[in-house]
Chains A and B, each alone.
Chain A
Amino acid sequence: MRPDVFRAVADPTRRAVLDLLAEGELAVKDLQPAFRISQPALSQHLRVLREAGLVSERRVGRLRIYRLEAEPLAGLRGWLERYERFWDERFDRLGRVLDGAAAGKDAVRAQ
């Protein structure tokens, strides 16, 4: 998991951009009305998303068209799922510690 992917989607404006792009490809001028920020600010957000590989850009005439790239998102989802499994495993282990099953550090290390 690239950390810049997580940073990119940690911002609510950028998540909203991704939401809109999930409906289809859009140019900046199509995205702009949905936000109360300047076009340079919006372009900056798009640049962060592009650098994280979350969107791609292509030019059609004078327009820059943005499109959602699903692959890094799938990676992000896998990462979150691993995080959930992490806690499930740890709470199981807490149960064993409470039951006295993990008597000593060797038992913990062996898992």
Chain B
Amino acid sequence: MTREVFYAHPRERVWAALTDPAALGQWLMPNDFQPVAGREFTFRTKPGPGFDGVVHCRVLELEAPSRMAWSWRGGPIDTVVRFELDAVEGGTRLRFEQTGFAGLQGNLVRLILGAGWLRQARELELEAANA
């Protein structure tokens, strides 16, 4: 999963919103984040099905004011999220990536859309019935 978002604000300001725990709490989720590489922290939100409401993270990479990566484990998923900030004309481009289930998405689309198995299943049933 990747996203690119443009913000009409200087990179330092966007970086601050990504790395200040209070600001993170405003736009993402309440947390005990500290901008220190290797530090573990959590986000807490409402629980859902198969999810106790806690996202367990660790700061994997931190390079002010442009790069940051966290491990991101919550409910059934174990992923990595990565933020990259580029200073561009008139503001900042945020590039976001969540990896760990990217391959899974491709598989799913193919499996769900590729309904060839339905037809084949019927053929097999016919064969079995005629056997």
Q: Cβ of B3: which chain A residues have Cβ within 8 Å of it?
A: 87-88, 91
Query: Would A91 and B94 be within 8 Å (CB), given that A3-B75, A3-B76, A15-B104 are in contact?
Result: yes
Q: Which of B27, B108, B119, B121 has the most CB of A within 10 A?
A: B27
Tally of A-B residue pairs with Cβ under 8 A? Answer: 116
Minimum CB–CB distance for B114 against chain A, Å: 5
For the complex, what is the distance from the CA of A110 to the CA of B98, rounded to whole Å?
A: 27
Q: Cβ of B98: which chain A residues have Cβ within 8 Å of it?
A: 83, 87
- A108 near B26 (CB under 8 angstroms)? yes
Interface residues on A, range: 35 or more
* Chain A residues close to B by CB (< 8 Å): 1-3, 5-7, 9-10, 12, 15, 18-19, 21-25, 60, 65, 67-68, 70, 73-74, 76-77, 80, 83-84, 87-88, 90-91, 93-99, 102, 105, 108
